[in-house]
Amino acid sequence: MSVLVVGSVALDSVETPFGRADDALGGSATYFAASASHHTRVQLVGVVGSDYPIQKLQDLAARGVDLSGLEQMEGESFRWRGRYRHDLNSAETLETRLGVFSHFRPKIPPQFRRAKYVFLGNIDPRLQLDVLQQVEKPTLVACDTMNFWIESRRADLLALLEKVDLITLNDAEARQLTEQANLVKAARWILSKGPRTVIIKKGEHGAFMFHANRVFFAPAYPLEDVFDPTGAGDSFAGGFMGYLARTDDLSEANMRRAVVFGSAMGSFVVEGFSIARLLEITPDDISRRVAEFHRLVTFDAEAL
């Protein structure tokens, strides 16, 4: 089963304590696609401006990402500039330039409309809603968002929540959206607005998956060197959705495995700038890391 992603395709300029990158490939759809392509075929819908180095996306096409839904419009590409200080868990946005995104209306190509797994990456919630009108009966629709949209498009975001099955967001976003300091209460608040599943990511402290009366937790992989945290959330989502689409099984046990695959993919992307590590890793690297996650959380409960 393939997965459809609609999101930003950006040029990112990022500063971390370990270096900087200017106008590097970024955006929610780019990271998601690079990650999910390790698990299944990906259909990408997005927009870039006339200044985008489209040939650099060929690495994604070579990995089985169908770029026929990527539009190129006259104007400037979406650009995000951010900085991480020593707390690598939170990005400081220095500048967001919407460029062609401000006139973009996603057009889902006819061959993508029957996608069973749909990921609405971090973009204007009005565009996320627009996509839902164009797809036919998906099995699972998941969305992401961020502070920028929680502040500026709250009503649209609440309307979107009524229509999605799952949302992924980080702890700060969950608190901002729900005005609840406690994450269990925040998750309950979000569940009451529509989604059946809420995933709250806590950066290097792992991720929680909440259902109405069940909760699962996966740690983050204890990496010694984190180079650039940009894209960890989208790569998590790509691993999670890619694994679900490949296995086409929404049982609780399989969704738990998907969280671990998401965490594994998030742990790779932060080892380098942009999508570089996602283009390097092999299926063996992924299997080894998933096995290490298993060792990390397994303990002998017999003596209890």
In this structure, are residues 113 and 144 in contact, taking their beta carbons and an 8 Å threshold? no
> Could you tell me the smallest distance in angstroms from the CB atom of residue 295 to ligand AMP?
26
Name which of residues 16 to 35 contact ligand AMP (CB under 6 A). Answer: 26-28, 31
Name which of residues 139 to 158 contact ligand AMP (CB under 6 A). Answer: 146, 148
First to last CA, the chain: 42
> Could you tell me the smallest distance in angstroms from the CB atom of residue 92 to ligand AMP?
12
Give the CB-side neighbour count of residue 102, counting CA atoms within 13 A.
7
Stretch that binds ligand AMP, among 40-48, 178-186, 226-234, 239-247 (CB under 6 A): 226-234
Name which of residues 93 to 112 contact ligand AMP (CB under 6 A). Answer: 96
Q: Which C-beta is closer to ligand AMP: that of 275 or that of 281? A: 275
- By CB under 6 A, name the one of 171, 210, 234, 276 that touches ligand AMP: 234
> Could you tell me the smallest distance in angstroms from the CB atom of residue 213 to ligand AMP?
28
Stretch that binds ligand AMP, among 7-15, 154-162, 204-212, 290-298 (CB under 6 A): 7-15
Contact flag: residue 232 with ligand AMP (CB under 6 A):
yes
> Could you tell me the smallest distance in angstroms from the CB atom of residue 122 to ligand AMP?
5
> Could you tell me the smallest distance in angstroms from the CB atom of residue 236 to ligand AMP?
8
> Could you tell me the smallest distance in angstroms from the CB atom of residue 157 to ligand AMP?
12
x/- mask, ligand AMP, residues 112-131, rule CB under 6 A, reads: ----------xx--------
What is the rounded CA–CA span in Å between residue 8 and residue 27? 5
Total of chain residues touching ligand AMP, rule CB under 6 A: 18
CA torsion 7→13→16→19, rounded to 10°? 130
- By CB under 6 A, name the one of 3, 12, 84, 138 that touches ligand AMP: 12
> Could you tell me the smallest distance in angstroms from the CB atom of residue 160 to ligand AMP?
14
Name which of residues 30 to 59 contact ligand AMP (CB under 6 A). Answer: 31
Q: Which residues bind ligand AMP (CB under 6 A)?
A: 8, 10, 12, 26-28, 31, 80, 96, 122-123, 146, 148, 230-234
